[in-house]
Structure 1
Amino acid sequence: MKKLALAAALTVAASSAFAGGMAEPVVEPEVVVEQTSSSNGGWLVPVLLIVLIAAAASAQ
Protein backbone atom coordinates (compact mmCIF):
# COMPACT_ATOMS: atom_id res chain seq x y z
CA MET A 1 0.00 0.00 0.00
CA LYS A 2 2.90 2.34 0.75
CA LYS A 3 4.34 1.72 -2.71
CA LEU A 4 1.00 2.60 -4.28
CA ALA A 5 0.78 5.85 -2.31
CA LEU A 6 4.39 6.73 -3.21
CA ALA A 7 3.72 5.99 -6.90
CA ALA A 8 0.56 8.15 -6.83
CA ALA A 9 2.43 11.01 -5.14
CA LEU A 10 5.25 10.86 -7.68
CA THR A 11 2.76 10.75 -10.54
CA VAL A 12 0.95 13.84 -9.26
CA ALA A 13 4.24 15.69 -8.74
CA ALA A 14 5.53 14.77 -12.20
CA SER A 15 2.31 15.71 -14.00
CA SER A 16 2.10 19.13 -12.34
CA ALA A 17 5.73 19.85 -13.20
CA PHE A 18 5.05 19.36 -16.92
CA ALA A 19 1.52 20.80 -16.99
CA GLY A 20 2.51 23.82 -19.07
CA GLY A 21 4.42 21.89 -21.67
CA MET A 22 7.16 23.34 -23.84
CA ALA A 23 6.48 26.87 -24.99
CA GLU A 24 8.14 28.46 -27.99
CA PRO A 25 10.56 31.23 -26.97
CA VAL A 26 9.38 34.73 -27.80
CA VAL A 27 12.00 36.56 -29.84
CA GLU A 28 11.41 40.21 -30.58
CA PRO A 29 12.25 41.29 -34.14
CA GLU A 30 15.39 43.36 -34.62
CA VAL A 31 14.69 46.94 -35.67
CA VAL A 32 16.80 48.02 -38.63
CA VAL A 33 17.09 51.73 -39.39
CA GLU A 34 18.10 52.41 -42.95
CA GLN A 35 19.65 55.72 -43.84
CA THR A 36 17.96 57.21 -46.88
CA SER A 37 19.76 59.53 -49.22
CA SER A 38 17.91 62.39 -50.82
CA SER A 39 18.48 63.10 -54.50
CA ASN A 40 18.66 66.84 -53.83
CA GLY A 41 21.08 66.46 -50.92
CA GLY A 42 21.61 69.52 -48.77
CA TRP A 43 21.80 72.15 -51.49
CA LEU A 44 18.09 72.67 -52.27
CA VAL A 45 17.16 74.67 -49.16
CA PRO A 46 20.08 77.14 -49.41
CA VAL A 47 19.40 77.70 -53.13
CA LEU A 48 15.72 78.37 -52.45
CA LEU A 49 16.68 80.74 -49.64
CA ILE A 50 19.01 82.68 -51.96
CA VAL A 51 16.29 82.87 -54.62
CA LEU A 52 13.75 84.20 -52.09
CA ILE A 53 16.22 86.79 -50.76
CA ALA A 54 17.05 87.89 -54.32
CA ALA A 55 13.34 88.16 -55.18
CA ALA A 56 12.68 90.22 -52.05
CA ALA A 57 15.67 92.49 -52.75
CA SER A 58 14.64 93.09 -56.37
CA ALA A 59 11.05 93.93 -55.36
CA GLN A 60 12.16 96.93 -53.25
Structure 2
Amino acid sequence: MKKFALAAALSVAASTGYAGTLAEPVIEAPVIVEETSASSSAAAVWVPLLLLAIVAAVVIAD
Protein backbone atom coordinates (compact mmCIF):
# COMPACT_ATOMS: atom_id res chain seq x y z
CA MET A 1 0.00 0.00 0.00
CA LYS A 2 2.89 2.34 0.78
CA LYS A 3 4.41 1.68 -2.63
CA PHE A 4 1.10 2.48 -4.29
CA ALA A 5 0.82 5.79 -2.40
CA LEU A 6 4.42 6.66 -3.24
CA ALA A 7 3.88 5.83 -6.90
CA ALA A 8 0.72 7.95 -6.99
CA ALA A 9 2.49 10.91 -5.36
CA LEU A 10 5.43 10.67 -7.77
CA SER A 11 3.16 10.43 -10.80
CA VAL A 12 1.24 13.53 -9.71
CA ALA A 13 4.47 15.43 -9.09
CA ALA A 14 5.91 14.37 -12.44
CA SER A 15 2.78 15.25 -14.43
CA THR A 16 2.76 18.86 -13.21
CA GLY A 17 6.23 19.34 -14.66
CA TYR A 18 4.90 18.73 -18.17
CA ALA A 19 1.84 20.96 -17.86
CA GLY A 20 3.40 23.85 -19.80
CA THR A 21 4.74 24.04 -23.31
CA LEU A 22 8.13 24.91 -24.71
CA ALA A 23 6.68 27.21 -27.37
CA GLU A 24 7.22 30.94 -27.01
CA PRO A 25 4.16 32.80 -25.71
CA VAL A 26 2.26 34.83 -28.29
CA ILE A 27 2.23 38.48 -27.29
CA GLU A 28 -0.04 40.72 -29.30
CA ALA A 29 1.10 44.22 -30.16
CA PRO A 30 -0.72 46.94 -28.23
CA VAL A 31 -3.29 48.95 -30.13
CA ILE A 32 -2.31 52.61 -30.31
CA VAL A 33 -5.12 55.07 -30.95
CA GLU A 34 -4.11 58.57 -31.97
CA GLU A 35 -6.56 61.25 -30.95
CA THR A 36 -7.28 63.92 -33.50
CA SER A 37 -6.68 67.40 -32.26
CA ALA A 38 -9.48 69.94 -32.37
CA SER A 39 -9.32 72.54 -35.08
CA SER A 40 -7.93 75.80 -33.79
CA SER A 41 -9.42 77.72 -36.69
CA ALA A 42 -12.56 79.68 -35.93
CA ALA A 43 -13.25 80.05 -39.65
CA ALA A 44 -15.38 76.92 -39.56
CA VAL A 45 -17.88 78.87 -37.43
CA TRP A 46 -17.53 82.45 -38.64
CA VAL A 47 -17.73 81.89 -42.41
CA PRO A 48 -21.17 80.20 -42.37
CA LEU A 49 -22.47 82.78 -39.90
CA LEU A 50 -21.22 85.61 -42.11
CA LEU A 51 -22.85 84.05 -45.17
CA LEU A 52 -26.11 83.63 -43.25
CA ALA A 53 -26.01 87.28 -42.18
CA ILE A 54 -25.43 88.41 -45.78
CA VAL A 55 -28.32 86.28 -47.05
CA ALA A 56 -30.56 87.62 -44.28
CA ALA A 57 -29.59 91.20 -45.14
CA VAL A 58 -30.37 90.61 -48.83
CA VAL A 59 -33.75 89.07 -47.99
CA ILE A 60 -34.66 91.94 -45.64
CA ALA A 61 -33.56 94.59 -48.19
CA ASP A 62 -35.94 93.24 -50.85
Report % sequence identity: 15
Structure 2 matches for 1:35-54, cutoff 5 A?
Answer: 35-38=38-41, 40-54=43-57
From the superposition, tell whether residues 11 and 31 of structure 1 become closer, same or farther in structure 2 (CA, over 3 Å): farther
2: distance between equivalents of 1:54 and 1:23? 67
TM-score computed with the length of structure 1 as normaliser: 0.52
**TM-score normalised by length of structure 2:** 0.51
Give me the CA root mean square deviation. 3.4
State the distance in 1 between where 2:48 and 2:29 align. 46
Match of 1:27 in 2: 30
> Which residue of the partner structure matches residue 13 of structure 2?
10
> Corresponding residue for 2:61?
58
Q: CA deviation at 1:9?
A: 2.9
Equivalences, count: 56
Q: Which runs of 5+ in 2 are unaligned?
A: none
Give unpaired runs (5+ residues) of structure 1. Answer: none
